[in-house]
Structure 1
Amino acid sequence: MGTRPESGERAWLNEAIRRVEADANRSADTHLHVFPLPEDWGVDLYLKDESVHPTGSLKHRLARSLFLYGLCNGWICEGTTVIEASSGSTAVSEAYFARLLGLPFVAVMPRSTSPEKIALIEFQGGVCHLVDDPSTIYDESRRLAEETGGHYMDQFTYAERATDWRGNNNIAESIFEQMARERHPVPRWVVVGAGTGGTSATIGRYVRYRRLDTQVCVVDPENSAFFAGWTDPDATGSASRIEGIGRPRVEPSFVPGVVDAMITVPDAASIAAARWCSRVTGRLVGGSTGTALWGALHQIADLRSRGEQGSVVTLLCDGGERYADTYYSDAWLDAQGIDITPYERVLEEFGASGVWESPT
């Protein structure tokens, strides 16, 4: 019988997994904040604050899961160069875990990526590989992996399978444990964005597995492919101005069968909701949180219109500090031709009276 001489490899693997798990243990859990709504509405809104992770976003969970998945599949070994197609928060988080394990990390991203995002990745020890055509980031990542003998993480394929959706401290299990003592402990809706599709897949599978009466709503920014892809897997879109959730194609990790409703959200509404949330809660939030909040408020308005009560949960995906020069810049909005005023009026009126009127 032949055996592989892997005692040294297994020792490195054991230590690598220990370090990743130790990071999870140090991080504990993220807070579930109550959003201020009138109590007599009978509908409660909660924000799961993923911005408090060590790398500042929901993607810290994904990066941890992807690294554990790659390690346990034997794809990531001592000295492996880790490569990802990402110019956003996933790359920041993966660079963090690569440095934790002493591994080189390369983020393949469009040349138009903001200097601020590049600086965040480099701060975590990553190298940024810039390409002129954004549509080539996937193929270029595969090419670099082959050239270096490295591993292409491919978040858009593996996000939905790298996380154990039955439990094991995933985001769904965390939400429902934290909701256990609330007045409406089983949410009527959990509202999330479709970035890779991994979060909606995890939550959608979990509520079915646990036989819960919770429904999953996915919000999608304008021009993104996911809304059309809910019924047509061949649908295409274009690049999104709301970082982290909109995609020009339906990613392999998107599982439409576990999604109960979808809402497409104009970029102006996402930004207006992010700014409004920051004013109301005192917590500066990013654009994807605004998209999710707009969808959550839409569901709350629908519950109230039917005289129903319950709870709604959504995610505070990352902090707004990263977007001072975009979503929180009036000059940037003017340059993009975005007018958030009609959507701000909708939010202010809803907050004051509970009446939801679509912007004209």
Structure 2
Amino acid sequence: MKPLSPECLPLPDCAERAWARDAVNLLQGDARRSADTHLINPVFPGLSGISFYLKDESTHPTGSLKHRLARSLVLYGICNGLIRQGTTLVEASSGSTAVSEAYFAHLLDLPFVAVMTKDTSRQKIAEIERFGGKCHFVDRACEIYDAARQITEETNGHYLNQFTYAERATDWRGNNNIAESIFSQMELEVHPVPEWVVMCAGTGGTSATIGRYLRYRGLPTRLCVVDVEHSVFYDGYRTGDRNKTCEKGSRIEGIGRPRVEPSFLPSVIDHMIKIPDAASLAAMHVLSERIFRRVGGSTGTNFFGLCWVAGQMMRENREGSLVSVICDSGARYEDTYYNAKWLEENKFDIEPYREALNIFLDTGDFTLLEALVRASK
């Protein structure tokens, strides 16, 4: 019997494309409902000539900057044919990304499994489970990757893999990404083009998006990335060695990694600093007191970085604007970063940094803050 010629073969009905089309519409609908987030401008009496701006990503439906990333990762998977009806979504996450991905999995009626360390905040775990997601726990941060791959194989699912795909799932040229939104909101300010954007790194995806956007638009704004203890991003940037690793995981949830993640792009970063965890947590407390709402530890890292850059600018008698991000709400850390007993048990002495930051913000005197950072090295 002769095989059928190509023109005689029945055409596929492509039913899966209909599901993908509906799924993308649901995700785009969420983006339109979310609109944009506020760019707030807190005023500090000691910083004459320097303006701070904070993009408040905590107001997204899932409460963090990771809402943007999660939507992009799911869209990336659908549009590449990797996520289909019934596909189990799997992620390795320290919490906030998984909360947002659980939300989108629930929106699309897809199973979701988050792999995380046992010390992830209970609030984040509860939020993942509230959206119908499941949590798989490991002992050490370096174990999350292999565990996520294994679960993906067992479920024949899709590993969202934020640490690899964060930098490529987001359209860095625009399309209302966080960089384009910031610069649009800055247009009518006294210093509309920031001197610096300051950003901590979790996957490295946000810094990659911002750094690429600055170059694409030909903007003079520079990008400073702030790293924390028990993270190798700074070492990878300084040495050029992407194989750097460390055993212990970051104590500032959501940022700092035990390996140099694929989404981290040192080539688009203009400057990096590494700060003590106590400085991040002190800055978190100070900022929360001054804007009358609680922010998370990664935002504290961002804010300390802003203060450090501002101190250097003031020393050089330079004026201008500085921009960073409120990554998430402090409500997720009531039992940890905002708990005095927890801070004491974990040997965080934040009071010296709190004092130095308040002096700097009120008077512009950078001496004590600088001395503390240099003494910590």
TM-score by length of 1: 0.97
SS at match of 2:64: coil
Displacement after TM superposition at 1:37 (Å): 2.2
Partner of 2:245: 236
Partner of 2:290: 280
SS at match of 1:190: strand
Partner of 2:3: none
| 2:338 partner letter | Y
Aligned partner of 1:5 among 7, 12, 19:
12
Aligned partner of 1:98 among 97, 100, 105:
105
Q: Are 2:296 and 2:328, in contact at CA under 8 Å, matched by a contact in 1?
A: yes
Q: Distance in 2 between matches of 1:64 and 1:327?
A: 28
Is 1:335 aligned with 2:328?
A: no
Displacement after TM superposition at 1:110 (Å): 2.2
Partner of 1:324: 334
SS at match of 1:113: coil
Q: Give unmatched runs, 5+ long, in structure 2.
A: 1-5
The count of residues paired between Structure 1 and Structure 2 equals 360
Q: Are 1:225 and 1:235, in contact at CA under 8 Å, matched by a contact in 2?
A: yes
Partner of 2:271: 261
Q: Are 1:81 and 1:105, in contact at CA under 8 Å, matched by a contact in 2?
A: yes
Q: Distance in 1 between matches of 2:328 and 2:275?
A: 18
Aligned partner of 1:289 among 299, 313, 331:
299
Q: Are 1:36 and 1:281, in contact at CA under 8 Å, matched by a contact in 2?
A: no
Partner of 1:181: 188
Q: Which has the larger radius of gyration?
A: 2
Partner of 1:128: 135
The CA deviation string for residues 260-315 of structure 1, in whole angstroms up to 9 with x for no partner, is: 01111111000000000011111210000000100011111111111111100000
Q: Distance in 1 between matches of 2:327 and 2:140?
A: 27
Q: Are 2:113 and 2:134, in contact at CA under 8 Å, matched by a contact in 1?
A: yes
Q: Distance in 2 between matches of 1:94 and 1:206?
A: 25
Change (3 A) 1:96 1:3: farther
Displacement after TM superposition at 1:89 (Å): 0.2
SS at match of 1:41: coil
Aligned partner of 1:25 among 32, 53, 58:
32
The CA deviation string for residues 52-103 of structure 1, in whole angstroms up to 9 with x for no partner, is: 0000000000000001100100000101000001131000000000000010
Partner of 1:147: 154
Q: Distance in 2 between matches of 1:6 and 1:335?
A: 61
Q: Distance in 2 between matches of 1:3 and 1:38?
A: 74
Over aligned residue pairs, what C-alpha RMSD do you find? Answer: 1.4
SS at match of 2:87: coil
SS at match of 1:268: helix
Displacement after TM superposition at 1:3 (Å): 7.8
Aligned partner of 1:203 among 200, 210, 229:
210
Aligned partner of 2:49 among 28, 33, 42:
42
TM-score by length of 2: 0.93
Is 1:298 aligned with 2:302?
A: no
Displacement after TM superposition at 1:233 (Å): 1.5
| 2:335 partner letter | D
Partner of 1:353: 363
Select between 130-139 and 225-234 the one with higher mean Cα deviation: 130-139
| 1:191 partner letter | V
Displacement after TM superposition at 1:39 (Å): 8.6
